[in-house]
Amino acid sequence: MKRKRFTEEQITTVLREYEAGAKSGDLARKHGVSEATLYNRKAKYGGMDVSDVRRLKALEDENAKLKKLLADQILEAAALQELLSKI
């Protein structure tokens, strides 16, 4: 699994600095991210506090898990249907 580089607190702190008027290039260099990453995080997490970001990440993880379970069930159903059609 991919290691997280920045915590939710760090992300929201950087976004608060950006929203307070700091230049994106300066912030990107200061925190070691690209400007594109900064813009993407602003689009995704802008206006959220730390608890909102945590909740969003938890929901995204749960959604990915449920999608994987659904895909497994669909594959299993297709295999069973194929097996039954041969009988």
Q: Is the pLDDT of residue 1 over 70?
A: no
Are 40 and 86 in contact by the 8 Å Cβ rule? The answer is no
The single-letter code of the amino acid at 54 is: R
- The pTM (predicted TM-score) of the whole model is 0.67
Taking the alpha carbons at both ends of the chain, their separation in whole angstroms is: 42
- Which residues have C-beta within 8 Å of that of residue 3, sequence separation ≥ 6? none
Residue 6: band (very low, low, confident or very high) from pLDDT cuts 50, 70, 90: confident
Name the DSSP class of 20: T
Query: What gap in Å lies between CA 58 and CA 47, rounded to an integer?
Result: 18
Tens-place pLDDT, residues 7-49: 889 999 999 999 999 999 999 999 989 999 999 999 999 889 9
